[in-house]
Structure 1
Amino acid sequence: MSSEHEAYIRKIRFDKMKVTFFRVFILISIITLWEISANLKWVDPFLTSSPSRMIRSFIGLYNDGTIFRHIYVTCYETILGFSLGTILGTIIAIILWWCPLTAKVLDPYLVVLNALPKVALAPIIIFWVGTGTSAIIIIALLISIVTTIIAVFTGFKEIDKEKLLLMKTFQASKLKTLRYLIIPYSIPILISALKINVGLSWVGVIMGEFLVAREGLGFLIVYGGQISQLNMVMMSIVILSFLAFIMYKLVFMVEKKYLKDS
């Protein structure tokens, strides 16, 4: 390895360390300033809470033995809604690619469903399915599935025409074209859809828990607001942010591994 190459690698490592340092520094600064502002009454701690108050709220729920149950319920609903939305959305996108006539017929309906606020369907879903986990998962599924269909199907249509023509020249069947060309070249699009679905799934689950849940982080947010316990509300929001970040990083790790392998 040449000295120039070593210097280049050192520079990359230094840049990564610098980015990490500033990220941690900004986070610590925000937490510290928030705590100081609340303690010195620069802001009203009843309205904004503070890190120490949120920690005490977490400890209180931990001592009650309920906090991890709420976290588990929300994570379970989110992961299931996320997985079903991604899998079913991809399958429907494949069907639309396989049957171009069906895709043309359903195109305006997909546009309408994508534009429609899915939360508006929540009362109907609750009436059909009832209150509970099933309704929440279906709401999360509806929010993510249409986006997945449109994103993946658009990726299918953007495959290089010359590659498709080459597959036809070799008399490849539709199944082989799908297996060896369409899906491999659309994996980056699918990963992008996964990133979008991470946020959408959390939105769907929290909205569902706002309406019908008796447990979960969304329920804690609503319940905390009803009894004027904004410490509980802010604590739940922070936990949600942390969990969503972890889920996004897992998808990012999958993308990184794919790029490295490919």
Structure 2
Amino acid sequence: MEMAKKSVNVSEANNISKEHEIYLNKVKKTKRKILITRILILVIFIALWQIAANLKWIDPFLTSSPTRVIESFVSLYEGGGLIKHIAVTCYETILGFSLGTILGSLIAVILWWSPFVSKILDPYLVVLNALPKVALAPIIIFWIGNGIPAIIVIALLISVITTIISVLTGFNEIDKEKIMLMNTFRATKIQILRYLIFPYSVPILISALKINVGLSWVGVIMGEFLVAKNGLGFLIVYGGQVAQLDMVMMSIVILSAIAFIMYEVVAIVENKLVKDRS
């Protein structure tokens, strides 16, 4: 009987492992299909863009074309200025993104810590979030001056309010009964924050990071439109002024690629945090 039971358990384990293996293979196949489909869409889009430009379905001067974008890239790269422009924009974006996320999260913690202060500042946060930040850009430039610091501050202002609101909302959505349970065990606010609020708010924090990737790029490019002498935003403005739309399209393509890379880095961080939690 014992031998029979052992053989049944072994067969059940084998069935489970086979089913799990089949499931993992399906997941891998689905991921491959998604990746291949994404690449095909991009390739088809680029091919149609080039064909339309070659056959004059669209005006290459106004819309450029993949070959002209590549030629503009090579020309600027050989001139030695392209890497500097990319580096300046990346530096401004990463710094604005980091400061906005860190400062916004810290302010959200302070507001969660003091509900009284949070209720007082709530309408001001709503107004600041609704206010178009581009309206503040001339004032910031006047206060700080032309240059990288003003651009970073603009990027910071665009992302920090959104971070405060989203992170604070996540903190306040934690189950009140769990907080009451920890209070019954006389947990301090620091312990509640460390062992309950932060772990349960990881998805909210990741969501804020993803939002801030886009907002930081918006702030930096907007600032470079106004005051920069270097950067991809400067190239877009300069290219439009001198009617070099190939340079404009090239800068937009580079911006899209770098923004995608930043988003993927955040996604990798998200996957690592999810694995650590599980």
Normalising by the residue count of structure 1, what TM-score does the alignment of the two structures yield? 0.98
For 1:196 and 1:234, the matched residues in 2 are separated by 24
Candidates 57, 60, 63, aligned match of 1:48: 63
Q: Structure 2 unaligned runs (5+)?
A: 1-13
For 1:8 and 1:104, the matched residues in 2 are separated by 49
The aligned residue for residue 97 of structure 2 is 82
For 2:259 and 2:43, the matched residues in 1 are separated by 20
The aligned residue for residue 142 of structure 2 is 127
Instruction: Please give the secondary structure, in 1, of the residue aligned with 2:43.
Output: helix
The aligned residue for residue 6 of structure 1 is 21
Determine if the alignment matches structure 1 residue 161 to structure 2 residue 176.
yes
Shift of 1:261: 1.3
Shift of 1:177: 1.3
For 1:202 and 1:9, the matched residues in 2 are separated by 37
Shift of 1:6: 3.1
Cα distance change of structure 1 residues 129 and 155 upon mapping to structure 2, 3 Å threshold? same
For 1:193 and 1:6, the matched residues in 2 are separated by 35
The aligned residue for residue 25 of structure 1 is 40
The aligned residue for residue 258 of structure 1 is 273
The aligned residue for residue 239 of structure 2 is 224
Instruction: Please give the secondary structure, in 2, of the residue aligned with 1:147.
Output: helix
Candidates 218, 224, 227, aligned match of 1:203: 218
Query: Structure 2 matches for 1:54-203, cutoff 5 A?
Result: 54-203=69-218
The aligned amino acid for 2:169 is: T
The alignment of Structure 1 onto Structure 2 pairs a total of residues equal to 262
1:104-142 deviation line (CA, Å, top 9, x unaligned): 110100000000001100000000000000000000000
Shift of 1:12: 2.0
1:13-49 deviation line (CA, Å, top 9, x unaligned): 2222111111111111111111111111111000100
For 1:7 and 1:173, the matched residues in 2 are separated by 47
Normalising by the residue count of structure 2, what TM-score does the alignment of the two structures yield? 0.92
| Aligned residues: CA RMSD | 0.9
Q: Structure 1 unaligned runs (5+)?
A: none
- Which structure has the larger Rg over C-alpha atoms? 2
Q: Percent identity?
A: 70
For 1:97 and 1:7, the matched residues in 2 are separated by 46
Shift of 1:7: 2.9
The aligned amino acid for 1:162 is: E
Instruction: Please give the secondary structure, in 2, of the residue aligned with 1:208.
Output: helix
The aligned residue for residue 37 of structure 1 is 52
1:220-254 deviation line (CA, Å, top 9, x unaligned): 00000000000000000000000000000000010
